[in-house]
Structure 1
Amino acid sequence: MLFCPYCANNLTIGDGDDTPDKCWICPTCPYKWIITQQISMRTHLSRKQVDDVLGGDEAWANVDQTDIDCPKCDDSRRAYFRQLQIRSADEPMTTFYKCVGCSWQWREN
């Protein structure tokens, strides 16, 4: 995506009035730039880590506790919980749990 250096609008591709060549044209001002070579740029984005998406350790600060059995340790009957909207808005929220005893994390099925 290229922008006009004078008015900062998006440039579109079109035919020049005085030349048969293709050129970048500003739709709001008379700026034109003749295309002489192919321009291509590619940016590879890195994937976010799961902790970045779900908030990491700070997300568990100041959350409520509830009575629920831990599926891993069977020792503790208490767990922290929080709810996130991870699907579309018309779907119910997903409840995430973290065991008070062993810090095992799971979500409600």
Structure 2
Amino acid sequence: MYLFCPVCGNLLTVEEGPSCKRFACNTCPYVQNITQKVASYTFPRLKEVDDVLGGAAAWENVDNTDEKCPKCSHPKAYFMQIQTRSADEPMTTFYKCCSPSCSHRWKE
């Protein structure tokens, strides 16, 4: 949680006062005693795997292989390889179950 000075608009800092902690402005004489716990949490929305891989169209022209689905045990799966890390690391292989009723996705 960021608190801004109501006088000049600069970011307030926390400092130890004579009897308590307080918010203080570095550019003007504004101070405000802290009387209660101040906390704020913001969690970012994580991207879906489809957003990163290009959506449903990314799976249209891919090959299949003899990889067993861990969810339904179907013997075939579509696959594609993408370089997700630095060039000296191996490529990441993404799989999608060939069974239309399952369509489970996993990576290796």
TM range (shorter): 0.5 to 0.7
Instruction: Sort the Cα spacing of 1:104 and 1:13 in 2 relative to 1 into closer, same or farther, 3 A.
Output: closer
Match of 2:95 in 1: 97
Check the 8 A contact 1:81/1:98 in 2, yes or no: no
Question: Distance between the aligned counterparts of 1:37 and 1:14, measured in 2?
Answer: 13
1:81 to 1:12, Cα distance in 2 relative to 1, 3 A: same
* Number of residue pairs matched by the alignment: 96
Percent identity, please: 33
TM-score, normalised via structure 2 length? 0.56
* Rounded Cα–Cα distance in structure 1 between residues aligned with 2:104 and 2:50: 16
- How far, CA to CA, are the matches of 2:91 and 2:27 in structure 1? 46
Q: Distance in 2 between matches of 1:66 and 1:28?
A: 63
List alignment gaps of at least 5 residues for structure 2.
Answer: none
Which residues of structure 1 form unaligned runs of 5+?
none
- TM-score w.r.t. structure 1 length? 0.55
Cross-structure match for 2:28? 29
Letter in 1 for 2:82: Q
- Find out whether 1:61 has 2:62 as its counterpart: no
SS of equivalent residue, structure 2 residue 58: coil
Q: Distance in 2 between matches of 1:55 and 1:7?
A: 45
Q: C-alpha displacement at 1:98, in angstroms?
A: 0.9
What is the alpha-carbon distance in structure 2 between the residues aligned to residue 2 and residue 10 of structure 1?
Answer: 6
Code of the aligned partner of 2:66: D
